[in-house]
Amino acid sequence: MSKRVTIDPVTRIEGHLRVDVEVDAGHVKKAWASGQMWRGVENILIGRDPRDAWAITQRICGVCTTVHAMASVRAVENALQLEIPINAQYIRNMIMLAHGIHDHIVHFYHLSALDWVDVVSALQADPGKAASLAQSLSNWNGNSKAEFTKVQDRIKGFVGTGQLGIFTNGYWGHPAMKLSPEVNLMAVAHYLQALEVQRYANKIVSILGSKSPHIQNVAVGGVANALSLESQSVLTMERLLAVKEWMIKLDDFVKNVYLIDVAAIGGFYADWTKYGRGITDYLSVPDIPLDGKGTVFALPGGYIEGGKIESHKPITSFNDKYFLDGVSEAVTHSWYNYSGGNDKSLHPYKGETTPNYTDFQDDGKYSWLKSPTFYGKPMQVGPLPRVLNMLAAGHEPTKKYATAALDLASTVAGAKVGLDALHSTIGRHAARAVGCAVQSDELMKQWDLLLANMGKGDMKTFNKPTFPKGEQMGVGFHEAPRGVLSHWVVIESGVIKNYQCVVPTTWNAAPRNEKNEPGAYEACLLGNPVADPEKPLEVLRTVHSFDPCLACAVHVVDQENNPVVTVRAV
């Protein structure tokens, strides 16, 4: 007999996601992903000044603030075909890259590592052996026996008080936890060090963005940072040097701890390269523009069909017609109505946001997320599509870090772990770490580019926008930490007429589309093992591997005192 397992809410994510799976003989045979919050922010923007949209949209979410700000100004600039000064591009690029690195470090260590790492087991570890192991993998200076002993004592103190605090909801001792106590201790030590290191990324965003949380320096037409090599109270050489110092510290952690840990833990869990494949149609957009118009990019993007690298089709500019024409959204299984019928799919410029809540219907409407498609097909977006598209485009740094990660995973696993292993639950973590190392290189390059340009005497950061009469349409896309983010704006005589945000988690956590095809989470969960339906840790592993973030909505649903996991026979 099968069992229906409902996880509501999925914990350690931002926002409210419900996942249902039908489990038969220890494996998932059917899955539903349901966004439990209404995202109606688009309606708030209609009738407003397009220059204010970025400040409003960055309040949608607690995690991805800067990404919405960037996509929004890009959309308005695209509608006006407004070029921005190259300095503004470099400053925005650094904010996006630092934000992305912050997001990836926090996601791996603080939001998902505990699906794989057993904190309680770390108490049994021999700190000396753990240190030798860690030193054999990396020359990071936080891998000493003294450091690991200190961490173990700290956790003992925590567990001793009976208050696990932030570790309360873990599935400690679950049979799917396979790491040795020493590997667990190493990972817990790095969890604590990551808390320290993530702040450097945040400081970079704060200085360049003038404020954190919620940056303040962005403007349609550029950035509001005044540049000067000497004068105080603006972005000075002194501040830029501090920023560089934090970049170097971040880079050390990303390359010598994060990338190594993910490859090693991936090697120990090589089994998990068999699960979570799901949708292998991969979409990413190019980012980190190197000119004012967005026609040359440091990081390539594109589309890969069926996981075949050689099928890569590039997306090459902010005006890329192939991307612009390909996106549409359906609401057949979503709690919205389209005026022209719910069996249709609408291009975002024609998008509608009219709620129609029905309750959870297995074969009908069951999510507040819409179902986006690219030329009629559901996509996977995120670090894996990003890294595969960069590899397909021949991006050398991506090749270097991907090879390093796969080689280390192969050594740990004692068997060859090839590129194909990336199409999996654990592969998404590996791709995120590879992408993060690439971003770290690029962050320092952008700093050099800004300084070189300022050295030529160019201090320009803003081109004033002017809004003509009549209608303009624009898209702003950004390869955000969780994947393709696009804002679509229609402006009429200087006022917003329509606005749609197509966010990464909508692509991945989408319900079935108008053709009844499952979204990426739903597809990736099929065949996923579940040893104990009461403790569906393995389901969480696959869902968390996408780094879900549903707060692009935060409409409150009362959930007081409800159990997180419920199981019933079907």
Partner 1 sequence: MRIVVLGVGNILLSDEGVGVRVVEKLEAEYIVPPEVEIIDGGTCGMEMLDQLEDLDGLIVVDCVRHGQPPATPVLLKGDQVPVFFKTKLSPHQISLSDVLASLELTDTAPKTTVIIGIQPASMSLGMELTPEVAARVPELLATTIAELKVLGITVEARS
Contact positions vs partner 1 (CB under 8 A): 14, 40-41, 43-44, 56, 59-63, 65, 102, 106, 110, 154, 158, 165-166, 192, 195, 198-199, 202-203, 205, 212-214, 551, 554-556, 559-560
Minimum Å distance from CB 212 to partner 1?
6
Our CB check for partner 1 shows the closer of 166 and 241 to be 166
Query: Where would I find the H helices in 218-366?
Result: 237-253, 259-268, 321-326
What does the alpha-carbon distance between residue 241 and residue 220 come to, in Å, rounded to a whole number? 27
Cα–Cα distance list, 388 to 158, 245, 385 (Å):
41, 31, 5
Q: How far apart are CA 410 and CA 418, in angstroms?
A: 8
Between 48 and 274, CB nearer to partner 1: 48
Q: Which helix (H) or strand (E) holds 479?
A: strand 471-480
Q: What Rg do the C-alpha atoms of the chain give, in angstroms?
A: 23
Among residues 123 and 551, whose Cβ is nearest to partner 1? 551
Cα(75)–Cα(561) distance, rounded to whole angstroms?
A: 42
Q: In whole angstroms, how close is the CB of 155 to partner 1 at the nearest point? A: 9
Residue among 516 and 561 whose Cβ is closer to partner 1 = 561
Stated length of the chain: 570
Please state the closest distance from residue 9 (CB atom) to partner 1, in A: 9
Considering the complex, state which of residue 406 and residue 496 has its C-beta at the smaller distance from partner 1.
496
- Which of residues 242 and 473 has its CB atom nearest to partner 1 in the complex? 242
318 vs 336, beta carbon nearer partner 1: 336
Q: How far is the CB of 328 from partner 1 (least distance, A)?
A: 24
Residue 371: beta bridge partners? 330
Instruction: Look at residue 64 and give its three-state secondary structure.
Output: coil
Q: How far is CA 253 from CA 117, 188, 200, 206, 403, in A?
A: 19, 15, 11, 20, 19
Instruction: Specify whether the CB–CB gap between 30 and 52 falls below 8 A.
Output: no
Q: How far is the CB of 195 from partner 1 (least distance, A)?
A: 6
Minimum distance from CB of 456 to partner 1 (Å)? 34
- Distance in Å, CB of 199 to partner 1, minimum: 4
Q: How far apart are CA 241 and CA 13, in angstroms?
A: 34
Residue with tokens 């022209």: 340
Find residue 560's DSSP bridge partners: none
Nearer to partner 1, 40 or 527 (CB): 40
Smallest separation, CB 22 to partner 1 (Å): 28
- Closer residue to partner 1, CB minimum distance, 253 or 401: 253
Closest CB 109 distance from partner 1, rounded Å: 10
Contact 103, 111 (CB under 8 A): no
* CB nearer to partner 1: pick between 254 and 406: 254
For the CB of residue 554, give the shortest distance to partner 1 in the complex, in Å.
5
Closest CA to 326 of 335, 313, 338: 313
- Helix residue ranges per DSSP H, 414-480: 425-455
| Angstrom distance (rounded) from CA 291 to CA 156 | 53
For residue 545, the minimal CB distance to partner 1 (Å) is 19
Residues 262 and 405 sit within 8 Å (Cβ to Cβ)? yes
Which residues sit opposite 479 in a β-bridge?
Answer: 484
How far apart are the C-alpha atoms of 551 and 542, rounded to whole Å?
19
- d(C-alpha 374, C-alpha 510), whole Å: 13
Q: What angle do CA 515, 528, 382 make, to 5 degrees?
A: 65
The first and second tokens of residue 7, run together, are 């996880």
Is the Cβ of residue 10 or residue 391 nearer to partner 1 in the bound state? 10
- Contact of 137 with 264, CB cutoff 8 Å: yes
Closest contact distance (angstroms) between CB of 548 and partner 1 is 13
CB nearer to partner 1: pick between 69 and 283 = 69
- List % helix, strand, coil for the chain (3-state, nearest 5): 45, 15, 40
**Is the CB of 158 or the CB of 360 nearer to partner 1?**
158
Whether 287 and 323 have beta carbons less than 8 Å apart is answered as: no
Least CB distance from residue 334 to partner 1, whole Å?
A: 17
